[in-house]
Amino acid sequence: MKNTFVMISSAGPNRDLSKGTREQPFWTEHAEFIDRLVADGFILMGGPLVDEGGSLLIFNAEDENEVRAKMNNDPWLKHGILKQESIKRWQIFIDARKDHSKGV
């Protein structure tokens, strides 16, 4: 059974805070990697934490180990542009996009 997980990353030691997200080293490789995981239905939502250079990603995964294993291949984590801070299982109670009260 799939669960929802949240991963929060902070700016890594090689992140240039004077530059925007798309101006960071390995941007193209990172974007291609993330796009593949979105296309596979593994990443549901995500984006940068603009004021601090980190990111937040929401996953559809079996467990935390699956998230960790797949994200270890992210070029930005490998090259220190991002630093993984935490992975947490998240139970969604509120979602304006979907009516959970009807079991839908």
Please state, in angstroms and rounded to a whole number, the distance separating the CA atoms of residues 55 and 11. Answer: 8
Q: Is 30 helix (H, G, I), strand (E, B) or coil?
A: helix
Helix H or strand E segment including 8: strand 3-11
Q: Which residue has the tokens 């939502």?
A: 45
Judge if pTM exceeds 0.85.
yes
Locate the domains of the chain by residue range.
3-92
Please state, in angstroms and rounded to a whole number, the distance separating the CA atoms of residues 82 and 74. Answer: 9
CATH number 3.40.50.620 given to 3-92: no
pLDDT digit string, tens, across residues 17-50: 999 999 999 999 999 999 999 999 999 999 999 8
